[in-house]
Amino acid sequence: MQEFDKLAQTLQPFYSRFNVANRLLFTGHSHQAWPDTAFDGVQEYMNVVADQVDKKWGFGFEKTEIMREYLRNFYDDPSGKYCREQNTHVLIIAWLSALDLKNKPKIITTTGEFHSMYRQLKSLESVGVEVAYLPHEDDDLLFESIKKELDERTSAVMLSRIYYETSEINTRLSDIARLTKQAGVPLMVDDYHGTNVVPISFKEEELEHIYLLVGGYKYLQWGEANCFLRFPADCNLKPIITGWFSAFEQLDHPRTDGPVQFDDGDQKYATATYDPISQFRAAAVTEFFQVQGLTPQVLRNQYSAQLSYLRSLFDEHNFEGSEIEHANTRPVEESGGFLALRSPHARELRAALLEKDIFSDARDQIIRLGPAPYTTSLQCEKVIKALFDSLKSL
C-alpha cells in the first residue's frame, strides 16, 4: 500500500456514479471522473430554470464566480481577470483578434503545442501570418531561441507551461515572461495540463502581466464548457471578434457612433448566449474539492506520488526488446500529472487496453496514462500489468 492510497480510498466513495473504485480510468489527463455532487449541480440548474425562467442568468454568473475565485486561489492571483467561455478555441480566436497582425505579422510558438493553438496558427499562415515554431524539448535552448526571434515584427509569444504529449514542465516560463515583458510582447500560456496539478504563484513569479488558458475538462473535473482566459487587470488589448456578453452590463445603454465598449469585469473576451448548466455542475465540484481539503499542494503531492509509482512499475515490468520507453525522462519535480510512454505500437496498445475496458490515450507514438486523485496503487499495478500483457500479445 502506498501513501497516496489513503486519499484515493477516501475519495472513491464520492465518485460512485462513475464507479471509479471498480474501473481502470486512466484518462485523468483528458477526462477525469466527476464526483457525485456534479450530478446534484445539474439537478440544481434544472430547478433554477424552472423556477426563475429568464432570471436564471444571475444565478449562473454566481456559479461562474465560484470557479473564478478557485482559479485565483490556485494561481495566487487575486488581481487576475478570468473570462469564461465554452472552450479554449473561442478564447484563442478572440485574443488573436486583438493583436496588431497587420503591422506585426509574426507569432512565436513551439513545436509542442496542442491542436487548438497549433491548428489555428497553422491556418493563419495561409493569410500571411508568420509563425516561428521553435523546438520545445530543451527549456534553456527554447529560451535562447525566443530571445533571438523576438523583434519589432512580433505580435505575441504563445506556448504551454506543461506539454500535452509528454507532461514535461517548461521550467523557464518565468524567464520567458520577463523577456517578453521587456520586449513589450504579449505572452499567451496554455495551462490546460497545469491547472490543479502543478501549483504556481503569479505573485512570486511575477506573472501578473501574462495571458493564460485554463480548461475544466481535465484535472478540475468541471467537465465540458468551462474554460477561462486569464488576462491582466490592466489589459489594454481589445478583441475585434467580440460577442455581446462582453458588454452585458451595457445592454440598456443607448447606441452611439463611438467605438465598441467593454465591461470592466472579467468577460472582455466573451462571446454570447450559452448553456449555464455546466457552471452549476462545475461550481458543485469546486465546492466539493474545497470541502475535501484538496488544496493545490495536496493535489500536487498526490499526482507526484502516483506518477513516481507508475514509473517504478513500468521500469520493473519493462524488458529488453519491448520497443517501449519513457517519453519523459525528467524528474517528477519537472513533470505534470501523467505517465508518457513512447512506442511504435502506442495506438494498438490503447485499442488493446480499451478492449479490456481500460481507458488510456494515445498521441502518435506516445501512450499516456493519467491517474486522478482517486486512483489507488492497486489500480496502477493493474494498468501496468495489462499494458505489458497487451504488448506481449501484439
The mean per-residue pLDDT over the stretch 135-147 comes to 97
Q: Is 189 exposed, middle or buried (0-12, 13-18, 19+ CB in 10 A)?
A: buried
The mean per-residue pLDDT over the stretch 122-126 comes to 96
pLDDT of residue 263: 79
pLDDT of residue 261: 85
The mean per-residue pLDDT over the stretch 270-287 comes to 95
CB 106 within 8 A of CB 151: yes
Amino acid at 90: V
pLDDT of residue 175: 98
> Alpha carbon 348 to chain centroid distance?
26
Residue of 253 and 270 predicted with greater confidence: 270
Strands 130-134 and 154-160: unpaired
Other beta carbons within 10 angstroms of residue 115's beta carbon come to 11
Residue of 4 and 260 predicted with greater confidence: 4
> What is the rounded distance in angstroms from the CA atom of residue 164 to the CA atom of residue 44?
34
Percent of the chain at pLDDT above 90? 92
Does residue 256 carry a pLDDT above 90?
no
Strands 187-190 and 154-160: parallel
Does residue 218 carry a pLDDT above 90?
yes
Burial 127-151 (b: 16+ CB within 10 A, else e): eebebbebebeebeebbebbeeebe
> What is the rounded distance in angstroms from the CA atom of residue 188 to the CA atom of residue 239?
14
CB 269 within 8 A of CB 229: yes
> What is the rounded distance in angstroms from the CA atom of residue 272 to the CA atom of residue 280?
18
Phi, psi of 6 (to 5 degrees): -60, -50
Tell me the per-residue pLDDT of 331-357, one tens digit each, with 9 for 90 and over: 999 999 999 999 999 999 999 999 999
Record the pTM: 0.96
pLDDT of residue 24: 98
Phi, psi of 321 (to 5 degrees): 85, 10
Tell me the per-residue pLDDT of 228-247, one tens digit each, with 9 for 90 and over: 999 999 999 999 999 878 87
pLDDT of residue 250: 74
Does residue 154 carry a pLDDT above 80?
yes
Tell me the per-residue pLDDT of 40-88, one tens digit each, with 9 for 90 and over: 999 999 999 999 998 999 999 999 999 999 999 999 999 999 999 999 9
Is the alpha carbon torsion for 106, 107, 111, 116 positive or negative?
negative
The mean per-residue pLDDT over the stretch 178-195 comes to 98
Domain residues of the chain, as ranges?
5-33+295-392, 39-288
pLDDT grade, residue 262 (50/70/90)? confident
pLDDT of residue 253: 78
**Whole-number average pLDDT of the chain:** 96
pLDDT of residue 64: 97
pLDDT grade, residue 394 (50/70/90)? confident
* Nearest CA-CA partner of 283 in 223, 222, 227, 229: 222
pLDDT grade, residue 22 (50/70/90)? very high
Tell me the per-residue pLDDT of 345-390, one tens digit each, with 9 for 90 and over: 999 999 999 999 999 999 899 999 999 999 999 999 999 999 999 9
pLDDT of residue 98: 98
Hey, what's the cell of 258? 463611438
Hey, what's the cell of 283? 461550481
Q: Specify the fold of 39-288.
A: Aspartate Aminotransferase; domain 2 (3.40.640)
The helix-helix angle for 346-355 and 377-392 (nearest 10°) equals: 120
pLDDT of residue 152: 97
Hey, what's the cell of 168? 514535461
Which helix (H) or strand (E) segment is 366 a member of? strand 366-369
Q: Specify the fold of 5-33+295-392.
A: Aspartate Aminotransferase, domain 1 (3.90.1150)
Residues 6+ apart with CB under 8 A from 345: 323, 324, 391, 394
